[in-house]
Structure 1
């Protein structure tokens, strides 16, 4: 009996020692995790919590903490990117507002300070003031359009629309401009049956007007403009607006739809200034459940493609 009792006592002592060792190991691991986590957050490093342990619960805790660190890093990066974007937006809009307003002020000072101006000369200057004022108004309208789209205040009613007819109406609206600039127009819109898609007629007019205007203004040096409507697949109707102008460099193609992203290339004034036009176009397409993309080979062909969902 004494031997059995001694064995039991030894086993209990070993168990206590094991439990004490395990407890101290857990404490050391928790202290390491705390110290490491504090260092990561204080120093804003991209490290993760790495710890070898057999404790299942501690492993699960470390996994979730690493997920939280990843989420925090992504959120922080997104915040800084948005902050930079907003600063750039304000800088660009300030520049775009200051330029025409400075011109307006110059014209008004001439009118006020030059008593020798004839009525005809005053009328010419006032016409220029009016033109520049319209420029400012258009810029401000674009800015507020983007704010409404991104805040969710701009609701779009979705229904089935005849994409073919809307595209025909839009290209006809540019007939006089295209003729005056001697731009060849290549239209590929099926005549045998309408191509129906889900969208909003008014917003699709805005999208096409923007893309066609851009193609004319910034791709007219290629002297060709194209508009194609087609069934992309069983689920989408495609619209291509293309030109053969100088195009967009490869490094910019993935970013031109970003809010306030601008190019420094002087040809691409479309993507300079406030950088609002293509962002608004993209938001409108997405509001209709569609997608927009661009493929460009400089001095060969630039194609903006809009895909809208269609009835199966």
Structure 2
């Protein structure tokens, strides 16, 4: 690629001025203390020396910098696709130094970002491998046992087929969530925005999860009595999934005999906030920043025993951000957690 060369005359001008002043001073000392000289000759010589010095230094600086910096550009192929490549080469050393330092800082930041992404990729592949491996091996184990002769026993056959079916259901659940989050992350999210009652949506979620909560003796309730509908503008189906995922998490990590409360409050003129609060085990501060990553689990062994795809909070985050809204989390280890998100309200 042909490089854009930006000339700067400051260095050559200053250098030629210093040289000219030095020789002018020498001639003037000679004129006053040794032998008189024609001043026209002295200043004429100084002027010619200044011009000659300026053009010589400018030419040499341009040649020196251009050739060597161009060689660096050509040798380092990594620069080919960077914005630094498109910047003009300057003969101003101060400007050039600043540009190179800025480039070095940008490259360092880019390398650090790539390292973080690589670590995230390795962790993601390990997590998804574990998530898929467990139900696959479970299904395979039951089927192989049946093929080895257990199929003749009707009781064992039915029990093992039912367990294999649960493993297949878990696989389908994971694949569906993976498909959904892939679409969400690529921006392929189609929102069917409508006016609906958020109180009714939360109540529907409570009704759906009542049996799941009762197994751990967890009470699902509102923080207050909402006698009137609270209308919002959003995709009802996706917001119901958000509430479902948050309440399921509160049940999964809640203490036996605990509570899960949902509160709905006005935030600003056209916004409200929905809070899902539990008195479960809580989350340590160092884990909160990674809660919305795919497959990230604070308590990996315990969480997997509870089931789920490990994608619930990641899906919640993408759905809320797809609505141009915000999601928040506050938690105190040993006390409980609160997940909240904003919605646009309407009359």
1:86-124 deviation digits (Å, cap 9, x = unpaired): 222222121222211112111112211125742222111
Which of 7, 13, 22 aligns to 2:49? It is: 13
In structure 1, what is the equivalent of residue 237 of structure 2?
202
Structure-2-length-normalised TM-score? 0.73
Structure-1-length-normalised TM-score? 0.80
Alignment of 1:1-312 (within 5 A): 3-4=39-40, 6-21=42-57, 24=60, 63=98, 66-114=101-149, 117-188=152-223, 191-221=226-256, 223-264=258-299, 266-269=301-304, 275-310=310-345
Partners of 1:272 and 1:118 lie apart in 2 by 29
- Partner of 1:106, secondary structure, is helix
* Greater Cα shift, 160-169 or 63-72: 63-72
- Partner of 1:170, secondary structure, is helix
Partners of 1:88 and 1:139 lie apart in 2 by 17
Q: Contact 1:198 / 1:288 at 8 angstroms: preserved in 2? A: no
Q: Contact 1:295 / 1:302 at 8 angstroms: preserved in 2? A: yes
Assess, with a 3 A threshold, how the Cα gap between structure 1 residues 63 and 273 changes in structure 2: closer, same or farther.
farther
* Greater Cα shift, 241-250 or 213-222: 213-222
Which structure 1 segments of 5+ residues have no match? 43-54
Q: Contact 2:178 / 2:311 at 8 angstroms: preserved in 1? A: yes
Which structure 2 segments of 5+ residues have no match? 1-37, 79-89
1:249-273 deviation digits (Å, cap 9, x = unpaired): 1100111112343335544549998
* Greater Cα shift, 219-228 or 287-296: 219-228
Q: Contact 1:248 / 1:302 at 8 angstroms: preserved in 2? A: yes
Q: How many residue pairs get matched?
A: 300
> C-alpha root-mean-square deviation of aligned residues, in Å?
3.5
Assess, with a 3 A threshold, how the Cα gap between structure 1 residues 25 and 195 changes in structure 2: closer, same or farther.
farther
- Partner of 1:197, secondary structure, is strand
Assess, with a 3 A threshold, how the Cα gap between structure 1 residues 168 and 61 changes in structure 2: closer, same or farther.
farther
Q: Contact 1:85 / 1:259 at 8 angstroms: preserved in 2? A: no
